[in-house]
Amino acid sequence: MSTPVILWFRRDLRLSDQAALAAATREGPVVPVYILDDETPKHRIMGAASRWWLHHSLASLDAELREKGSRLILRKGKSAKVLAKLAEETGTKHIHALRHYEPWWRNAERDVAKALDLNLHDGNYLLPPGTVTTGGGGPYKIYTPFMRAVMEHMPPPEPAQRPHIIDAPATWPKSDTLSDWNLLPTTPNWATGFEKEWTPGEEGARKRLTAFRNRASNYDDARNLPAQEGSSRLSPHLHFGEISPAAVWHGVEREGGDNSTYLKELIWRDYAQNIITALPEYGRRNGRDRFDDFPWRDMRSAKSDLDAWQQGRTGYPIVDAGMRQLWTTGWMHNRVRMIAASFLIKHLLIDWRIGEQWFWDTLVDADYAQNSVNWQWVAGSGVDANMFSRIMAPLSQSEKFDAGGYIRAWVPELAHLDDPYVHDPDEYGCRPNAYPAKIIGHREARERALAAYAKIKG
């Protein structure tokens, strides 16, 4: 039997349209490995919600590998060291992996390549980040011209099928036991709502795509209505690589109709990745330097407001519904994400990075690139961003996008209120005692935010 090769999984937990797996199987026996690396990312280790998802995704991946005659080896530690040890145990220095672009993974890839034969492949994005450049050869920083340039290369190639069989090595190296990693919450188990909402793994991703693709042509309108099932809910599956963006693109296109709005969301995902490839510290550094001097509130005085936001107790029903949905399910409707983020930044004058970190810990689809780019877009601090002075009015947004049913579902204290009262029970004088008053008035918040912004406008 030939010497085995190592297949290094990270955020690419699938067998279909998996270029690294396809290349590895062509060479002979394969040793698939996933490394729980909390050392390389440092302050960017996966949040609690992501770890819940990871546990179930790894279990699903192992089951699918075993159907092909293989299995998943689990190891814990710094990736470069673990792979070097595994290479020694298996007698190979040959590793295949999909290329990743988060700064810590790029560092890890460089470290691994110093000692081992690391073969990197593309497949987590529609196009490899850096492929599409401006006329001057630099990276795009503005989404619209980037989107137009990407569209010239679309559609992506048809997704490749999974291999029929994966040759196993003569002997398997030792593996950790998944349950010993303690990725799941226990006391208390705050993820019971996750279990009702999600089915992590490649099969769960395929089912989500099947359920969504015949609704994709309605996405342009439905995505803004929190009370409707307008979103694809594919974001965590895409983040963990349980389905490729090419598979989603072709799955949606085959349904026909005008699916362009949704397909552009897939391009936005590529855009965000291109931004953090060009600006690796985008998760903690403002894209616009003048925001370095923005007068954010001191957290010693703002802590109670942050707590209210995190707990869904701001007195703004649409914001509270979103934050409670997030805590219960690990996900939030995309329109409500913008409203909730804007409220933290502009109504409460709390630094966007604090909100980004909360989403990093609580979202099952917490993605470094998209999380950073989206928060900076709302804050106005990004290289391509909404103007800070455009301050969302959460109460009118709630009515405009017919969020009454959404609020009643996630804020039970208001479940008995009809429209329009449920959007602003304070204003209509029907706020129940169990529901908090607004922590700040909209007009007061707007004036305070604009005064703060005036200090950095120059």
Q: What's the rounded mean pLDDT across residues 430-447?
A: 97
pLDDT at 164: 94
Q: What's the rounded mean pLDDT across residues 296-315?
A: 98
Q: Are 125 and 102 within 8 A, CB to CB?
A: no
Question: What tens digit of pLDDT does each residue of 43-54 get?
Answer: 999 999 999 999
Contacts of 453 (CB under 8 A, 6+ apart): 294, 380, 388, 389
Tokens at residue 140, please?
């795009």
Q: CA 208, CA 279: separation in Å to the nearest integer? A: 32
Question: What tens digit of pLDDT does each residue of 95-126 get?
Answer: 999 999 999 999 999 999 999 999 999 999 99
Q: CA 340, CA 338: separation in Å to the nearest integer? A: 6
Q: What's the rounded mean pLDDT across residues 27-43?
A: 96
pTM, entire model: 0.97
pLDDT at 458: 65
Q: Are 194 and 330 within 8 A, CB to CB?
A: yes
pLDDT > 90? residue 257: no
Q: What's the rounded mean pLDDT across residues 349-358?
A: 98
Q: CA 299, CA 304: separation in Å to the nearest integer? A: 9
Residue with tokens 């994709």, as numbered in its chain: 216
pLDDT > 90? residue 457: no
Q: What's the rounded mean pLDDT across residues 246-256?
A: 94
Pick the closest to residue 302 from 265, 264, 349, 260 (CA basis).
349
Confidence of residue 2 (pLDDT cuts 50, 70, 90): confident
Ordered structural domains, the chain, with CATH: 5-123 (3.40.50.620), 125-156+203-278 (1.25.40.80), 289-454 (1.10.579.10)
Among 74-78, 132-136, 254-258, 329-333, which stretch is predicted with the lowest mean pLDDT?
254-258
Mean pLDDT, the chain, integer: 96
Residue with tokens 């795509």, as numbered in its chain: 209
Whole-number Cα distances in Å, 195 to 13, 37, 102, 364, 430: 19, 25, 28, 12, 35
Task: Please tell me the total number of residues recorded for the chain in this structure.
Answer: 458
**Which residues are catalytically annotated?**
265, 268, 296, 334, 352, 375
Whole-number Cα distances in Å, 342 to 390, 391, 395: 10, 7, 13
Whole-number Cα distances in Å, 216 to 159, 199, 259: 19, 21, 6
pLDDT > 70? residue 1: no
pLDDT > 60? residue 293: yes
* Cβ neighbours around 174 below 10 Å, total: 9
Q: What's the rounded mean pLDDT across residues 176-197?
A: 96
Confidence of residue 229 (pLDDT cuts 50, 70, 90): confident
Q: CA 371, CA 353: separation in Å to the nearest integer? A: 10
Q: What percent of the chain has pLDDT over 70?
A: 100
Q: CA 73, CA 193: separation in Å to the nearest integer? A: 29
Confidence of residue 443 (pLDDT cuts 50, 70, 90): very high
Whole-number Cα distances in Å, 369 to 349, 396, 427: 23, 30, 39
Q: Are 32 and 7 within 8 A, CB to CB?
A: yes
Residue with tokens 């980037």, as numbered in its chain: 146
Q: What's the rounded mean pLDDT across residues 400-415?
A: 97
Q: CA 141, CA 285: separation in Å to the nearest integer? A: 15
What is the 3-state secondary structure of the chain? CCCCEEEEECCCCCCCCCHHHHHHHHHCCEEEEEEECCCCCHHHCCCHHHHHHHHHHHHHHHHHHHHCCCCCEEEECCHHHHHHHHHHHHCCCEEEEECCCCHHHHHHHHHHHHHCEEEEECCCCCCCCCCCECCCCCECCCHHHHHHHHHCCCCCCCCCCCCCCCCCCCCCCCCCCHHHHCCCCCCCCCCHHHHHHCCCCHHHHHHHHHHHHCCHHHHHHHCCCCCCCCCCCCHHHHHCCCCCHHHHHHHHHCCCCCCHHHHHHHHHHHHHHHHHHHCCCCCCCCCCHHHHHCCCCCHHHHHHHHHHHHHCCCCCHHHHHHHHHHHHHCCCCHHHHHHHHHHHHHHCCCCHHHHHHHHHHHCCCCCHHHHHHHHHHHHCCCCCCCCCCCCCCHHHHHHHCCCHHHHHHHCHHHCCCCCCHHHCCCCCCCCCCCCCCCCCCHHHHHHHHHHHHHCCCC
pLDDT > 70? residue 431: yes
